[in-house]
Structure 1
Amino acid sequence: MNSYDEHSHDELKSIGHMATLPRDYRHAKDIETVLMELTDEVCQRARSHHKAGKTVTVSVRRYDLRSGFHRQSSLVAPSNLSSVIFKKAKAIFEQHWDGQPVRSIGVSISNLHDDQDIQLELFTNLDKEERISRVLDQTHARFGKTALLRASALTTAGISRDRATKIGGHYK
């Protein structure tokens, strides 16, 4: 038995985050705000594990929490950058959302690779974004998740500030 087989139960298979929304979200722009916030969390966790995912999955449950969709799509190359993951997640959402109110949404990445093995694309600004993401991760680790937020988190659709005051979905 090789070492991979001995420790395969310890291998991370996917990294994701799902949120039940405080109300029904009916507008694509509001849903995309939450999708971006969840993507940021997933990517931060991926970077903390030194992983990048090639497969992006979006899960949406409608207002009844029973119906919805769970779809995935693959990237050209593994990534743990929010802009790359969000672009794919948004495309999946736009393709499969039927316009019904959304009550729960999730984003995950799978088909994970070590992020040191990622080859950055030529003629892109991903190296700069990767450096900025690492600084954001360090800031959040030192000062808390609400130390730096996207402006969209301050809108009525944003859930990041409220979620930062909870542990396991419950107020501290």
Structure 2
Amino acid sequence: MHEVTLIVNGVPRQARVPARRLLSDFLRHDLGLTGTHVGCEHGVCGACTVLLDGQPVRACLTFAVSVTGQEVTTVEGLAKDGELSPVQRAFAECHGLQCGFCTPGFLTTVTAFLRENPAPADDEAIEAVAGNLCRCTGYQNIVKSVHRAAELMAEEGP
């Protein structure tokens, strides 16, 4: 067993886990944060994407012990003080989700993408979400959500 100590959604957390415990399982089972979904368990679908020190990573490919001392943001951590983030609001406004299984991965991925590229062109938005799989939407509304989130973030300012 290994001690894992990190910041999750702004809160210091720790737990003792086996060396092979995946970050996705650590978040879901050890910390009770079930918003991170596990789909393919091979890093292909993107449903398990979380932000590690602000960068998107596949939690199903990351060992929990490897993130000790770092900061993880899950979909639960995107909202602040009960207010949805601009990305979350945009996905709701633009119907960028249907069944919701893939949504946490899209939300974290788009959050990181828009920090780097706050005014993306269509092809950039498409490329940004290409690594996340959705079986329901056909991606049109997801891309609209990316653009709407960029608008909302620009309106709010830094």
Give the TM-score of the pair, scaled to structure 1.
0.26
Higher RCO (C-alpha 8 Å, min separation 6): 1
Bigger fraction of residues in strand: 1
Q: Higher Cα Rg: structure 1 or 2?
A: 1
